[in-house]
Amino acid sequence: MDDTLDAIIVGGGMVGAAVAAALGQAGMAVALVEGGRPPEPVADDAPFDLRISSLNLASQRLLEAVGAWGFIPEARRCPFRHIEASDETERRQVHFGAADLGLPDFGHFVENRVIRRALWQRLAELPGVATHCHAGPVAWLPGRHRTLLELDSGRLLAARLVVGADGAGSRVRALAGIATRDEDHGLRALIINVRTRLPQQDVSWQRFTPGGPQAMLPLPGHHASLVWYGSPEATAEREALDDEALRLAIERAFPERLGGLEAVLGRASFPIRGRHAERYVRPRLALVGDAAHVINPLAGQGLNLGLQDAAELSERVVAAFRAGQDPGGQGLLAGYARARRPQTLAMIAAMTAFHRVFTGAEPLRQAGAAGLAVADHLGPAKRQVMRRALGL
Please, are residues 217 and 192 in contact by the beta-carbon 8 Å criterion?
no
> Shortest distance, CB of residue 252 to ligand FAD, whole angstroms?
23
Q: Which is nearer to ligand FAD, 35 or 368 (CB)?
A: 35
b/e burial code for range 316-327 (CB count within 10 A of at least 16 → b): bbbebbeeeebb
Among 20, 165, 258, 298, binds ligand FAD (CB under 6 A): 165
Q: Which is nearer to ligand FAD, 264 or 291 (CB)?
A: 291
Q: Which stretch binds ligand FAD (CB under 6 A): 161-169, 242-250, 341-349, 362-370?
A: 161-169
Q: For the window 336-365, what string marks contact with ligand FAD as x by the rule CB under 6 A?
A: ------------------------------
Please, are residues 256 and 239 in contact by the beta-carbon 8 Å criterion?
no
218/78 Cα distance (integer angstroms):
7
Q: For the window 56-95, what string marks contact with ligand FAD as x by the rule CB under 6 A?
A: ----------------------------------------
> Shortest distance, CB of residue 62 to ligand FAD, whole angstroms?
12
Beta-carbon neighbour count of residue 3 at 10 Å? 10
33/25 Cα distance (integer angstroms):
18
* Sheet of strand 156-159: strand arrangement: 137-142, 147-151, 156-159
107 binds ligand FAD (CB under 6 A): no
> Shortest distance, CB of residue 123 to ligand FAD, whole angstroms?
13
164 binds ligand FAD (CB under 6 A): no
Please, are residues 103 and 115 in contact by the beta-carbon 8 Å criterion?
no
131 binds ligand FAD (CB under 6 A): no
281/58 Cα distance (integer angstroms):
23
Q: Which is nearer to ligand FAD, 123 or 369 (CB)?
A: 123
Q: Which is nearer to ligand FAD, 86 or 131 (CB)?
A: 131
Q: Burial, 14: exposed, middle or buried (Cβ in 10 Å; 0-12, 13-18, 19+)?
A: buried
DSSP per-residue string spanning 350-369: HHHHHHHHHHS-HHHHHHHH
Q: Which is nearer to ligand FAD, 212 or 306 (CB)?
A: 306
* Sheet of strand 281-282: strand arrangement: 129-132, 30-33, 7-10, 162-164, 285-287, 281-282
What's the alpha-carbon Rg for the chain, to the nearest Å?
Answer: 21
Q: For the window 17-56, what string marks contact with ligand FAD as x by the rule CB under 6 A?
A: ----------------xxxx----------------xx--
> Shortest distance, CB of residue 125 to ligand FAD, whole angstroms?
20
Altogether, the residues listed in the chain come to a count of: 392
> Shortest distance, CB of residue 222 to ligand FAD, whole angstroms?
20
Of 297-326, binders to ligand FAD (CB under 6 A) are 297, 300-304, 306
Q: Kind and range of the H or E element at 334?
A: helix 330-359
Helices (H) and strands (E) in the chain, counts: 10, 20
> Shortest distance, CB of residue 80 to ligand FAD, whole angstroms?
11
368 binds ligand FAD (CB under 6 A): no
Among 87, 290, 312, 326, binds ligand FAD (CB under 6 A): 290
Of 245-264, binders to ligand FAD (CB under 6 A) are none
> Shortest distance, CB of residue 12 to ligand FAD, whole angstroms?
5
Residues at the contact surface with ligand FAD, assessed by CB under 6 A: 10-16, 33-36, 53-54, 112, 136, 165-167, 171, 189, 191, 270, 289-290, 297, 300-304, 306
